[in-house]
Every structure is written in structure tokens, then in C-alpha cells.
């Protein structure tokens, strides 16, 4: 179990360990993670995948559960996959937004 203060930023940093295997980049730098909320041990992740039929989707979500549940204080993880987003995702980096 990872020792850290549970916060949205802690979760976002942990999500950098999760890679899209087809692109060999982490899901945060790819801009796939839109929002992270933490409320009394419940972590909600609002994100997308590279395509609706992404064959790596189940592997990515399983990796997310594994990484986030390892953070001290996490009681449950809820992943919401969405397919439309207006504008640049707030969590994307300059590199992934190009």
C-alpha cells in the first residue's frame, strides 16, 4: 500500500503509472483523464479512452483500479468513461494537447 495523503492530485500522480499499451504513454499525459474527485475515501475518475472500441479499455480500467486502490485511504473507485468533451481536457499537458 502506498503511503500518501489522499487527494485528487495524489490520485492523478498515481494514474501516471497507467499506460495506454498501444501508445506507450500514460493516460494523464495523453489527456484521457478529465477529472478526479475524492470524497471520504471514494475516488471518482471522469475519463475517456482513445476510441469507443479501444481494445485496451478493460486493461486500462483494471490498471486504474489496481493503482488507485493501493493509495492509503481509498475505500472505493468509480470510473466514468465519457465520449464527448468540449475544449481541451483540464488534465491534459501541453505535450498531449498538440
User: What pLDDT, on a 0 to 100 scale, did the predictor assign at position 25?
Assistant: 96
CA 69 from centre of chain? 12
Tens digit of each residue's pLDDT (9 = 90 or more) over 22-76: 999 999 999 999 999 999 999 999 999 998 888 999 999 999 999 999 999 999 9
Residues of 42-74 as b/e, b for ≥16 C-beta within 10 angstroms? ebbbbbbbbeeebebeeebbebbbebbeebebb
77 within 8 A of 65, measured Cβ to Cβ:
yes
Asked if the model's pLDDT at residue 89 lies above 90, the reply is no
Residue 84's pLDDT is what? 75
- Which of 55, 71, 54 has the alpha carbon at shortest distance from 16? 71
Q: Is pLDDT at 88 greater than 80 in this prediction?
A: no
Neighbours of 80 (CB within 10 A): 11
Amino acid at each position: 500500500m502506498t503511503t500518501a495523503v489522499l487527494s485528487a492530485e495524489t490520485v492523478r500522480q498515481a494514474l501516471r503509472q497507467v499506460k495506454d499499451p498501444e501508445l506507450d504513454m500514460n493516460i494523464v499525459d495523453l489527456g484521457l483523464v478529465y477529472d478526479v474527485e475524492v470524497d471520504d475515501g471514494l475516488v471518482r475518475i471522469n475519463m475517456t479512452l482513445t476510441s469507443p472500441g479501444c481494445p485496451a479499455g478493460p486493461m486500462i480500467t483494471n490498471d486504474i483500479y489496481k493503482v488507485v486502490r493501493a493509495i492509503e485511504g481509498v475505500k472505493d473507485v468509480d470510473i466514468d468513461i465519457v465520449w464527448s468533451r468540449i475544449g481541451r481536457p483540464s488534465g491534459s499537458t501541453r505535450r498531449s494537447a498538440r
